[in-house]
């Protein structure tokens, strides 16, 4: 199945000249049609959450978001919503905005949204103590892997996030300096693991990971000893 080209009017307005960085994000993956940073980080959905945080009503957001222009610079994001629109020939006043937004705000929204969607009850233990399986909305299965410094996932969102941050060094810097993630990609399945382990940031995760590993290794060693003893007993008989 060919990948569908990512289209969000906010990122592709023909009557606006986007920054060089923004254009590079659009052009970078022209061939395989994957504009990861624009799609996963600077999305309309994430922008809506920001407007809501700034006290916009849902009606203002609904009208405004269709008329938004989002221009991603190397270090900041420019958001523009005009203060009026033309509807059926009439000039209609709407709530507008024209300002630069820190990429840290977008990264935080991403983290908050993933956290709120994370459901530890969807996790199923897999073959090993450091593996889980999670069922996606379409009934497909993803593997979630625990390592000492991060949790990885085989889902599309995780993969998209990885590429998105690879495209944007400043966003990556904010992801690393964020006290919660400290560089961990904020995928909802990753956070499901965090919730399952009862942790709220990467530091706590690393501690719980080691505890969990030690517990399972101890158990495994004990089991091996018992098996060895059983064999020895059998040998004596
Ligand atoms: Zn995932």
pLDDT digits (tens, 9 = 90+) for 176-232: 999 999 999 999 999 999 999 999 999 999 999 999 999 988 887 777 777 777 776
Q: 130-184: per-residue pLDDT in tens? A: 999 998 778 889 999 999 999 999 999 999 999 999 999 999 999 999 999 999 9
Q: Ligand 1 centroid vs 88 CA: distance in angstroms?
A: 44
Domain positions in the chain: 9-109, 118-235
- Kindly indicate the confidence band of residue 33, based on its pLDDT and cuts at 50, 70 and 90: low
- Kindly indicate the confidence band of residue 2, based on its pLDDT and cuts at 50, 70 and 90: very low
What the block records as the tokens of 93 is 């006043």
Q: Residues 132, 123: contact at Cβ < 8 Å? A: yes
Q: Which protein residues have a CB closer than 5 Å to ligand 1 (ion)?
A: 153, 155, 158, 187, 189
Q: Residues 123, 196: contact at Cβ < 8 Å? A: yes
The CB-side HSE value for 83 (13 A sphere, CA atoms) comes to 3
Q: Ligand 1 centroid vs 157 CA: distance in angstroms?
A: 6
What pLDDT, on a 0 to 100 scale, did the predictor assign at position 1?
42
Global pTM value: 0.88
Q: Residues 41, 106: contact at Cβ < 8 Å? A: yes
Indicate the pairing of strand 90-93 with strand 84-87. Answer: antiparallel
């Amino acid at each position: 199945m060919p990948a569908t080209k990512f289209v969000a009017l906010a990122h592709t307005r023909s009557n606006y000249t986007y920054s060089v960085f923004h254009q590079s994000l659009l052009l970078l993956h022209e061939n395989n049609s994957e504009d990861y940073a624009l799609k996963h980080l600077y999305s309309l959905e994430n922008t809506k959450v920001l407007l809501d945080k700034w006290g916009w009503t849902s009606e203002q957001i609904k009208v405004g978001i269709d008329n938004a222009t989002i221009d991603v610079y190397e270090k900041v994001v420019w958001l523009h919503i005009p203060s009026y629109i033309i509807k059926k020939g009439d000039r209609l006043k709407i709530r507008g905005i024209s300002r630069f937004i820190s990429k840290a705000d977008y990264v935080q929204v991403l983290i908050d949204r993933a956290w709120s969607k994370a459901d530890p009850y969807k996790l199923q233990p897999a073959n090993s103590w450091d593996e889980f399986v999670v069922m996606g909305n379409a009934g497909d299965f993803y593997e979630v892997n625990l390592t000492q410094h991060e949790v990885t996932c085989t889902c599309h969102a995780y993969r998209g996030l990885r590429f998105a941050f690879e495209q944007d060094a400043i966003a990556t810097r904010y992801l690393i300096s964020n006290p919660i993630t400290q560089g961990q990609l904020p995928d909802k399945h990753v956070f499901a693991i965090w919730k399952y382990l009862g942790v709220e940031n990467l530091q706590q995760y690393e501690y719980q990971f080691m505890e969990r590993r030690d517990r399972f290794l101890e158990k495994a060693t004990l089991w091996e000893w018992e098996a060895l003893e059983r064999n020895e007993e059998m040998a004596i008989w």
